[in-house]
């Protein structure tokens, strides 16, 4: 059986197709932010993403026959964490235009359309699923304040990665459930996000696609507001170009022109001065954000967990640990990517190891 996973980003859609754990296709489809913004409702945006997905799959000459599950992820304040069937009730719930959530809501509709497309093309059953790893309304009221009236922070982090690492730490280090520990979780990937978790609740998190937190291999992280506003009005870039730079072509991509983990590791270990400086700076920025999230937990922390693909970069994580190990014990779980976690969750559902929830159903 094949599994189709997709993750909607601010101006892109990431897709991957797996068969028996092997990745057959992995692609990031870039979109026009202006076109996405002109599509007001999640179903409209979902259709736009779906059309781009089918174009990409067709160009890759990949047959979607035998795809039994299509899965995506959601960040909503209306559903508790779990894996849900995308059905009519969920469609109705997510159809309303909610600007802060349209990115992920549109992914749900795109996943449903991909599922229906596969069923119509190959005359088989294809299960549309969505995993809800985070409830954005969990964050503290103090954390939700942006400082600018009319703008509310609703962070979208690498929550699936965070919660998996927190669960590992709780189980293997403390012999507890993830709802019984206080942890700062750090996802180290093409984007870097840092979250504070108290007994299963997300108190606060950076939102890398919104330009928060440390810079990463691809994202800019927090920027000086005055300089950013000047850049917006400089006439050098339009909206699409600037959003693309901030979310996909900043960080190591801009400074090193390289975001390949094996390549960056090799350059670092060969002593390339610019690479060493930039990676250590990224570690410093990440450590600084860990300290900020430690404050959200009032310093009462069971542990700090580092996860994601770049957690396998020993020199990088060593730099982070050297700056934060005084706060709490640090553990590294170099777990698979978000796409791989979606694939694993879909496989568990397909094998009957995970309960599928329905919108409005008691847990």
Please report the pLDDT score of residue 154 as a whole number.
76
**Among residues 180, 31, 163, 172, which one has the least CA distance to residue 107?**
31
Please report the pLDDT score of residue 77 as a whole number.
61
- Token pair listed for 238: 């339009």
Interior angle at CA 29, CA 95 and CA 223, nearest 5: 85
Instruction: Report DSSP state, residue 356.
Output: P
The residue assigned the tokens 């050297």 is: 322
Residue 266 has pLDDT above 90, yes or no: yes
Q: Are 94 and 151 in contact (CB under 8 A)?
A: no
Please report the beta strands in 58-175, taking only residues with DSSP state E, as ranges in sequence order: 67-75, 82-85, 127-134
Whole-angstrom CA distances from 273 to 17, 71, 258, 267, 302 are 38, 42, 15, 9, 36
- CATH code reported for the domain at 1-134+338-363: 3.30.420.40
Please report the pLDDT score of residue 286 as a whole number.
98
Please report the pLDDT score of residue 290 as a whole number.
98
Between the two ends of the chain, the Cα-to-Cα distance in Å is 28
Using CA atoms of 257, 337, 293, 101 in order, give the dihedral in degrees to the nearest 10. 90
- Token pair listed for 23: 């990745």
Please report the pLDDT score of residue 88 as a whole number.
87
Please report the pLDDT score of residue 135 as a whole number.
47
Distance CA 175, CA 346 (A): 26
Question: Any bridge partners for residue 30, and if so which?
Answer: 12
The domain limits of the chain are 1-134+338-363, 138-328
Distance CA 53, CA 6 (A): 9
Tell me the per-residue pLDDT of 296-328, one tens digit each, with 9 for 90 and over.
999 999 999 999 889 999 999 999 999 999 999
Residue 142 has pLDDT above 70, yes or no: yes
Distance CA 222, CA 244 (A): 15
Task: State the chain's mean pLDDT as an integer.
Answer: 88
Model confidence at 360, pLDDT cuts 50, 70, 90, reads: low
Fold of 138-328: Nucleotidyltransferase; domain 5 (3.30.420)
Q: Which of 66-80, 111-125, 169-183 has the highest mean pLDDT?
A: 111-125
> Average pLDDT of 165-175?
86
Tell me the per-residue pLDDT of 335-351, one tens digit each, with 9 for 90 and over.
667 788 888 888 888 88
Please report the pLDDT score of residue 274 as a whole number.
97
Q: What is the bridge-based pairing of β-strands 182-188 and 192-198?
A: antiparallel
- What is the distance of C-alpha 261 from the center of its chain? 18
Q: Helix 261-269 and helix 314-324: axis angle, to 10°? A: 80
Instruction: Report DSSP state, residue 250.
Output: S
Please report the pLDDT score of residue 3 as a whole number.
95
Residue 40 has pLDDT above 80, yes or no: no
Distance CA 246, CA 222 (A): 10
Distance CA 62, CA 173 (A): 42
Distance CA 357, CA 100 (A): 24
The answer to whether 1-134+338-363 and 138-328 have equal CATH topology is: yes
């Amino acid at each position: 059986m094949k599994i189709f996973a997709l993750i909607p980003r601010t101006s892109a859609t990431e897709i991957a197709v797996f068969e028996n754990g092997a990745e057959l296709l992995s692609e990031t489809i870039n979109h026009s932010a202006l076109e996405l913004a002109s599509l007001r409702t999640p179903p409209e945006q979902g259709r736009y993403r779906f059309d781009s997905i089918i174009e990409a799959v067709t160009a890759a000459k990949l047959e979607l026959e035998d795809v039994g599950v299509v899965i995506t992820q959601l960040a909503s304040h209306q559903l508790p964490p779990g894996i849900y069937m995308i059905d009519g009730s969920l469609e109705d719930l997510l159809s309303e235009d909610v600007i802060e959530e349209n990115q992920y809501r549109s992914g749900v509709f795109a996943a449903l359309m991909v599922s229906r497309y596969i069923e119509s093309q190959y005359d088989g059953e294809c299960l549309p699923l969505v995993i809800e790893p985070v409830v954005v309304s969990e964050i503290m009221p103090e954390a939700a304040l942006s400082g600018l009236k009319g703008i509310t922070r609703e962070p979208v982090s690498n929550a699936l990665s965070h919660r998996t690492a927190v669960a590992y730490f709780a189980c293997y280090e403390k012999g507890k459930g993830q709802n019984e520990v206080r942890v700062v979780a750090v996802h180290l990937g093409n984007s870097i996000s840092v979250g504070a978790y108290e007994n299963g609740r997300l108190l606060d998190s950076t939102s890398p696609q919104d330009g928060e937190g440390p810079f990463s291999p691809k994202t800019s992280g927090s920027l000086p507001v005055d300089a950013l506003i000047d850049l917006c009005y400089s006439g050098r870039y339009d909206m699409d170009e600037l959003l693309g730079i901030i979310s996909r072509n900043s960080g190591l991509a801009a400074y090193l022109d390289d975001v390949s983990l094996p390549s960056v590791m090799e350059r670092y270990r060969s002593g390339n001065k610019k690479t060493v400086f930039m990676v250590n700076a990224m570690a410093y920025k990440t450590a600084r954000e860990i300290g900020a999230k430690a404050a959200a937990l009032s310093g009462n922390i069971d542990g700090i967990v580092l996860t994601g693909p770049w957690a396998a970069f020993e020199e990088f994580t060593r730099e982070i640990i050297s700056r934060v190990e005084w706060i709490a014990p640090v553990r590294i779980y170099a777990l698979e990517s978000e796409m791989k976690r979606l694939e694993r969750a879909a496989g568990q559902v397909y094998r009957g190891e995970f309960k599928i929830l329905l919108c409005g159903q008691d847990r």
